């Protein structure tokens, strides 16, 4: 009887370990950091020259994908074999607005038109992934070495990527390269 109880306890512990292992497998390995997307708390002007903004999401925002799922899909679509978010990357959930310019008629087909302005994204629920490549001890303003990638929070496709310029610096320290998604 005592031996049977020992087997039952060991069996229960084994089952608990198996379930725990499956849970870790579904949520990422213990070596990978879980990245949680914090909601944007205040509107961030990404590129003041075109008025690109990243604003707080609605309180009931419910993206179809997690930040990790969206990133993995984006990376898979680009042929990457590593699809985890780098540890030095911050992720925020918010509403991206990316104006293109005045309504351009037929040339603006596929863009959002509102009040005579064409937009690639207008209050679109997105994950903003950001990281800095400022050298240690740098006196550069953070905006001059900050990179952003914005992914649609429901489809995992890129909306925009913003990086500091490689050569000279524009007044806001950033350049924008919108992507069709």
pLDDT in tens, 102-116: 999 888 899 999 999
Band (141; pLDDT cuts 50, 70, 90):
low
Nearest Cα neighbor of 151 from 88, 93, 86, 82 is 93
DSSP state of 82: -
**Residue 3 pLDDT > 90, yes or no?**
no
pTM for the full predicted model:
0.71
Helix (H) or strand (E) holding 59: none
Residue 37 tokens, joined: 């997307």
**Taking the mean position of all CA atoms in its chain, how far away is CA 1?**
56
CB 162 within 8 A of CB 52: yes
pLDDT at 20 over 70: no
Give residues with Cβ within 8 angstroms of 42, minimum separation 6. 56
pLDDT in tens, 30-80: 334 556 789 999 999 998 889 999 999 999 999 999 999 999 999 999 999
* Whether the predicted pLDDT of 25 surpasses 60: no
Q: Are the C-beta atoms of 103 and 161 separated by less than 8 Å?
A: no
Exposed (0-12), middle (13-18) or buried (19+): which is 50, by Cβ within 10 Å?
Answer: middle
Spatial distance between the Cα atoms of 126 and 155, rounded to a whole number of angstroms: 9
pLDDT band at 164 (very low <50, low <70, confident <90, very high): confident
pLDDT on residue 165: 64
3-state secondary structure of 151: strand
Residue closest to 47 by CA, chosen among 113, 121, 153: 121
């Amino acid at each position: 009887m005592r031996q049977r109880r020992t087997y039952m306890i060991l069996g229960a512990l084994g089952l608990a370990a198996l379930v725990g292992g499956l849970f870790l497998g579904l949520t990422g390995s213990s070596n990978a950091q879980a990245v949680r997307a914090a909601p944007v708390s205040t509107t961030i002007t990404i590129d003041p020259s075109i008025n690109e903004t990243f604003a707080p999401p609605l309180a009931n925002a419910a993206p179809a994908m997690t930040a990790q799922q969206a990133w993995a899909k984006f990376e898979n679509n680009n042929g990457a074999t590593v699809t985890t978010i780098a540890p030095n990357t911050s992720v925020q959930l918010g509403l991206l607005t990316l104006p293109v310019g005045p309504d351009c008629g037929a040339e603006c087909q596929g863009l959002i038109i509102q009040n005579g302005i064409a937009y690639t994204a207008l209050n679109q629920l997105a994950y903003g992934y950001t990281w800095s490549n400022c050298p240690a001890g740098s006196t550069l303003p953070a905006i001059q070495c900050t990179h952003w990638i914005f992914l649609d929070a429901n489809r995992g496709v890129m909306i925009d990527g913003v990086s500091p310029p490689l050569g000279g610096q524009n007044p806001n320290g950033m350049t924008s390269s919108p992507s069709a998604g």
